[in-house]
Structure 1
Amino acid sequence: MTRASALPLSLWLPLCLAGCTGEMSQQPRYDSYEPSALFADGKSLQAPPEGTIARDDPDQTRALATRPPMTLALLERGRERFGIYCTPCHDEAGYGRGTVPARGFPSPPSFHTKRLRQAPASHFVDVITKGHGVMYSYADRVDASDRWAIAAYIRALQLSQNAPLAAAPADERSKLAGRAP
C-alpha cells in the first residue's frame, strides 16, 4: 500500500475540492447576439452550415409520411444507400451476416424471415429513423427519401431470395427447371 492511498477520505476530499476553483465553473462564453472577435463577421451567433436539416423540418417529415412511387431509379438509389449504411451489419443479401456481427457484435435479424417479409415497408423506414434493439437511429445519416429507397431495395432483396418459380419468365423457368437438384 502506498502512502497516498493510506490517507483517509476525510483528507482526500479537501484536496480534491481545492482543485475546483471558480474558474472552472465560470467559463468564458458569448451570448447569442453579443459581438465576437472569434468570427470574421464579428457576430457570435452564426448561421448553420449549408445543408443542415432541423430535426422537425417539415420537408423531411412530409418525405417520411408518404412512400414514393416504385421506380428503377428508387431501387438503384436504395441499393447504393443499402451498400453504404446497411451491409456492414446486414450483409449484401440481407441475411444479417455482415462484417460487424462477424467481429462479435449481435447479429441483426435476417430480412428473409417470415415476420420481416410480412412487415410493411414503413417498418423499415421507422427502424432506420428511430433505431431498434442494438441498432441506433440513422436519422442523422440517411435522408428521409433515402430511407424509403432502402426500404424498397430491402423488398427487392426479399423477393430475390423468396420469389416463386411462377414469377420468372417462361424461358427462365425452363432453364431453372433443368438445374433442379
Structure 2
Amino acid sequence: MSRAPLDLLRPLAALLLLTACDDMGSQPRYDHYEASKLFRDGKALQAPPEGTVARDAPARLAALTTRPQMTRALLERGRERFGIYCTPCHGYAGDGRGTVPARGFPQPPTFHQPRLRDVPSVYFVDVITDGYGVMYAYADRVRPADRWAIAAYIRALQLSQMAAVADLPEEDRRQLAAEEGRR
C-alpha cells in the first residue's frame, strides 16, 4: 500500500513540470509588418536574397514544363480535380454554366468554342497557373501535375461534346437512336 502515494505523485510532478515549460509561448520575435532595427529599411519582413531558389522549385518547374503521357489514370485524376476546382464556374460539361455564374458572377467561356479547341494544352496549364480575366490563379491550390491532368480532361470533354454520331460504336448509336425515339 505504500505505492499508492507514489502513483499519485508522479502525474502531479509531470503536470508541474509541464506548466514550468512555457518559454516557447513568449519568445521574442517580430510580426510581419512590424518595425525592426535589424535592417536598414526598418522593416522586419524582408524579401529573400536575389537568386534564392525554393527547395522544390526545380521539381515544380519540371512538372510544369513536361507534359505527361496520356493515360487513363491521368484522365481519371483530371476528372476528379476538374470536379473539385473547375465545375463551380465551368460546369460539369465545360460549357461555362456552373453554379457560380448562375448566382450572378461573370460566365466563363465554354471550352467547346473554336478558339479554345485550337489552343495547345499548355494554354490551360498556364491559365490554371497564372489566372486569366476574372479567373484568379490556382497555382497555390492545384499541383503542377494535376494541372496537366485537368488539361487532359478538358481535351476529353471537348472530344465528347463534338463527337460525330458516325464515330460512335454501333451499340452506342443504337442506344442514342432509341433515346431519340423516346423524345
Report the AA paired with residue 63 of structure 1: A
Q: Quick one: distance in 1 between partners of 2:179 and 2:81?
A: 33
In structure 2, distance between residues paired with 1:29 and 1:84: 46
1:152 Cα deviation from its structure 2 partner: 0.6
Query: Identical aligned pairs, as a percentage?
Result: 65
Question: Equivalent residue of 2:116, what SS?
Answer: helix
Q: CA deviation at 1:107?
A: 0.7
State the Cα RMSD in Å.
Answer: 2.5
Matched, 1:65 2:65: yes
Partner of 2:145: 145
Q: What residue number does 1:83 align with? A: 83
C-alpha displacement of 1:176: 2.4
What are structure 1's unaligned runs of at least 5 residues?
Answer: 1-24, 32-52
CA distance in 1, matches of 2:37, 2:150: 43
Partners of 1:150 and 1:88 lie apart in 2 by 14
Name the CA shift for 1:138/1:55 in 2 (closer, same or farther; >3 Å).
Answer: farther
Mapped to 2, the partners of 1:29 and 1:142 lie a distance apart of: 39
Q: TM-score of the superposition, structure 2-length normalised?
A: 0.67
Deviations 1:128-169 (Å, cap 9, x if unpaired)?
Answer: 011111111111111000000000111111111111122211
CA separation in 2, counterparts of 1:28 and 1:88?
44
Runs of 4+ in 1 over 6 A off after TM superposition: none
Deviation at 1:105, TM superposition (A): 1.2
Aligned length: 136
2:176 alignment partner in structure 1: 176
- Match of residue 123 from structure 2: 123
- Cα distance in 2 for partners of 1:97, 1:82 equals 14
Q: What is the TM-score when the length of structure 1 is the normalising length? A: 0.67
